[in-house]
Chain A
């Protein structure tokens, strides 16, 4: 069975600083990988996805992620964070082509310091 690990429960970053959120997955075949963001009391919004091809994928709101098969990782990055980026971030992997649902990590809570 597939699994996702987000090692950091909380991360605090100063506004304007760079950001990297870690995600490691376990899955036997080529994974379909996603990053979602959640504001308090809201649903999830898709930031970006990886299916195949270029291992560096661009998403919305200035986010990007890099797929590294050798490290089983799919880390999310942003060069300069804004106060509005404070939220919960979830990494997810899809098995079976994604039709059978997603397996999520436990999330990373991002705090932005002024």
Chain B
């Protein structure tokens, strides 16, 4: 079955450490997205990519980095510059095209600070 796989499901970060969250999709979607979810805050867009080797900052990109070397993969690195990284991170993908392409979500990675 096609879908989006996020790994790991749980991740722990030490102070000053960078960690990378994995997101893989086999839906043949062009666009991929990373969102951060905090309790009572809804989802906020971190980064998105509409095509391989290109990506744009979302609303809360500071302290995060991404790459898009392959269509299927869009890893997110939470750097030590992100001072409050504890959150639930969701990856999504969609077909490209004007407006009528809903996003499909993975099951998320929960990141905590040790």
Bound CA span A103–B59, Å? 10
Assembled-state Cα–Cα distance A32/B94 (Å): 14
On chain B, the number of residues with a Cβ less than 8 Å from chain A's Cβ atoms is 32
B50 contacts A90, C-beta separation under 8 Å? no
Cα separation A101 to B42 with both chains bound (whole Å) = 14
Q: Least Cβ distance of A3 to chain B in Å?
A: 11
**Binding stretch for chain B, among A14-22, A45-53, A66-74, A77-85:** A45-53
Asked if A94 and B99 sit within 8 Å, CB to CB, the answer is yes
Query: Is B41 a contact partner of A46 (Cβ separation < 8 A)?
Result: no
> What residue of chain A has the Cβ atom nearest to residue B96's Cβ?
A99
Of the candidate stretches B14-22, B63-71, B76-84, B103-111, the one touching chain A is: B103-111
Query: Given contacts A102-B45, A107-B42, are A49 and B33 in contact (CB under 8 A)?
Result: no
Cβ-closest chain B residue relative to A91: B42
Q: Which 8 A-B pairs have the closest CB atoms?
A: A43-B105, A97-B99, A104-B42, A101-B45, A106-B42, A44-B105, A104-B43, A43-B107
**Footprint of A on B, CB under 8 Å?**
4, 6, 31, 33, 35, 40-45, 48, 50, 56, 58, 90, 92, 94, 96-108, 110
Which residues of A are interface residues toward B (Cβ below 8 A)? 4, 9, 32, 34, 36, 41-46, 49, 51, 90, 92, 94, 97-107
**Cβ–Cβ contact A46 & B99, under 8 A:** no
